[in-house]
Amino acid sequence: MSIDVWPETAPTQILLLTLAFLMSAAIGIERDIRQKSAGARTHILVGMGSALFTLVSAYGFSHLIGGDVVLDPSRIAAQIVSGIGFIGAGVIFVRQNVVSGLTTAASIWVTAAVGMACGAGMPVIAGLTVVFYLLSVTLVTNLVRRLPRHDRSEHYIVRYTDGRGILREILGAASQLGYETRLVRTRRLAVSDGFAVDATMTFTRTQRVGREQLFEALHELEGVLEIRTVTEEND
């Protein structure tokens, strides 16, 4: 059996693999900017791997076709779809009913689809998918956050200076505004002038007090460095 090192389709294959690299990198860089567990490297590898599997399925066995040999290129694509779920599941965490990593897992799944589309010779559809992905995690996300909510709970990550009793003051301020507070988890990290704590907290309203008043009250506490919503941190 002779091996054709440089087949006629090689330039097309190289172009499609390169496009898969670039499009996967666009999704991964967005995740890196948001400091998620799976960043540019992971997404690039997922996208290129999916593209390469698809290219092998489409071009790698062409010399075997003929006679009684029948190939089904869609079989490899189907295995990619099921196999990528293991990677996506690895970035999803559940802690005390707070789910994190769902958007990152979905972005890995979309990246695999983008790589497959590139490998199958559909770069325009793949590029459009990347555009829609970026719109969904920017414009659509900002729009959804502005919609009125009926949930009486507010979910924040409060960053405060460690070792000064700030957590006690946070709980006291929330209690004065009529909020019941539940501490989900804490994470200690180094900052420029010492150490800080990221505390994921749930504030449940027991009175008619708006979230703006809670947000302002927490910001006014000396030692509170930053407040983020859980959706901004845990997607």
| Dihedral, 12, 13, 19, 24 alpha carbons, nearest 10 | 160
Question: Which residue segment(s) compose the domain that 113 sits in?
Answer: 10-146
Per-residue pLDDT at 67: 57
Residues near 65 by Cβ (< 8 Å), separated by ≥ 6? 71
Position 107, amino acid: S
Could you tell me if 118 and 23 lie in one domain? yes
Total domains in the chain come to 2
* Prediction pTM value: 0.67
Residue 63's pLDDT is 62
Residue 1 lies in a domain: no
Q: Is residue 175 part of a domain?
A: yes
Q: What is the CATH number of the domain that holds 192?
A: 3.30.70.260
Contact indicator for 64, 71 with CB cutoff of 8 Å:
yes
| Per-residue pLDDT tens digits of the chain, which is 235 residues long | 556 777 788 999 999 999 999 999 999 999 988 878 788 999 999 999 999 999 988 887 766 665 565 667 677 778 888 888 888 887 776 655 556 788 889 999 999 999 999 999 999 999 999 999 999 988 887 887 677 655 567 788 899 999 888 999 999 988 888 888 888 888 888 888 889 999 988 888 776 666 778 888 888 898 899 888 775 545 6
* Beta-carbon count within 10 A of 174 CB: 23
DSSP string covering 2-62, please?
Answer: ---SS-TTHHHHHHHHHHHHHHHHHHHHHHHHTT-SS-HHHHHHHHHHHHHHHHIIIIITG
Please give the pLDDT value at position 201.
87
Per-residue pLDDT at 210: 67
